[in-house]
Homo-oligomer: A and B are copies of this chain.
Amino acid sequence: MKKETTRTELPLNRILGGDCIEVMRALPAESVDLIFADPPYNLQLRGELHRPDNSRVDAVDDAWDQFDSFRAYDDFTREWLAAARRLLKPDGAIWVIGSYHNIFRLGAELQNQGFWILNDVIWRKSNPMPNFRGKRFTNAHETLIWASKSENSRYTFNYEALKALNEGVQMRSDWVIPICTGSERLKNERGEKAHPTQKPEALLHRILIGTTNPGDVVLDPFFGTGTTGAVARMLGRNYVGIEREAEYREIAERRLEKVRPLPADVLEVSTSKRAEPRVPFGQLVERGLLRPGEELYSLGNRFRAKVRADGTLVGKDVKGSIHKVGAQLEGAPSCNGWTYWHFKRDGKLVPIDMLRQQIRAEMSGARPN
């Protein structure tokens, strides 16, 4: 049963037909920045499942034979996840979505394969289908798991952009988003909904804005009618879709043709201070913005320190960087010297960070960027 697979180049912004496990195995390793996966959880699919040795799992229709069906689902999960993992760049990440039918098995297998869970996120549906028989709670949410490829991955997280999306408050792990209805819901020629579990674009919008950058490659191995691709294309990300059903692929192709990518300037998002160019404190002295020997005053004006010619400070029994001296004086584990230390101008105390901003402004002025 061994199949010869030729590793192709990664075809960007295309939908690939076929079984996602086989297709992924033929793609180049470590070529993808983000994976979004909405795998099937319908246990009726078990007839199409394969064990790791590629033997087919017998169709088991008996409802009581849960153990075998869970095992088959776990085998399927293990295989596609391993194939997906291979494609991820070392600093890549994955999102999976599911309900209580499958999310626990999915999450456990993610952990087993060495993915590092960063958050579980609750998609809280503002308009869920009620529980008609009154025997359970309204199933009003689905669960997403966001995980990096490994514990030490430097994953992408646009903290400031998400905070801005959330009215200036840190984005939480529970997201209120309506289900996909109305004109967004795709129909087939017969007027029926084209796909049973089409996800809202708002969900993918938040995921892609928050955990990818423009130009990144986003892979969706269960592409369906292409929500991931549509949002990726709109947001200037590259997508790779894999879908087994020809009908879904055709609908997705037509959908993607209509998407107009947004211009680059709109795609710029708020960035954190971490992204700003580094300015050594010594430059302030070199450029004469602070004189050697000048006195600096701590936040709260409890301590003083003197600037030395090499860009270090000297205070009472302490010397070192602006950060180190501040931390030692405060007895704190760390200290941001830029906001901690102040200098005197016209009798007023001004944070030295103002001088850093001045230098940064000059730097960006030189480079028209």
Contacts and interface: CB of A to CB of B under 8 A. Distances in A.
A95 to B, nearest CB: 12
Contacts of A261: none
A213 B113 CA distance: 43
Interface string A303-347: 000000000000000000000000000101111000000000000
Contacts of A330: 54
A177 interface: no
Contact of A134 (B112, B131, B137, B170): B170
Given A111-B105, A138-B170, A120 B100 contact: yes
Interface string A45-78: 0001010001010000001001100100000000
Interface string A169-186: 011111000000000000
A110 to B, nearest CB: 8
A122 B119 contact: no
A117 B100 CA distance: 7
A135 B156 CA distance: 9
A207 B122 CA distance: 20
A67 B172 CA distance: 28
Contacts of A145: 100, 104
Interface in A265-308: 272
A93 to B, nearest CB: 11
A108 B101 CA distance: 10
A340 to B, nearest CB: 11
Interface in A117-166: 117-122, 124, 128, 130-131, 134-141, 143, 145-146, 151, 157, 159, 162
A99 B172 CA distance: 15
The size bracket of the interface on A is 35 or more
Contacts of A103: 104, 107, 120
A148 to B, nearest CB: 10
A130 B171 CA distance: 9
Given A119-B137, A137-B119, A170-B131, A104 B100 contact: no
Contact of A70 (B48, B104, B112, B141): B112
A138 B173 contact: yes
25 contacts: A50-B334, A54-B330, A100-B107, A100-B145, A101-B117, A103-B104, A104-B107, A104-B108, A105-B107, A105-B111, A107-B108, A119-B139, A121-B137, A124-B124, A130-B170, A131-B170, A134-B159, A134-B170, A135-B159, A137-B170, A137-B172, A137-B173, A138-B172, A140-B172, A174-B174
Q: Which 6 A-B pairs have the closest CB atoms?
A: A104-B107, A140-B172, A100-B120, A134-B159, A54-B332, A138-B172
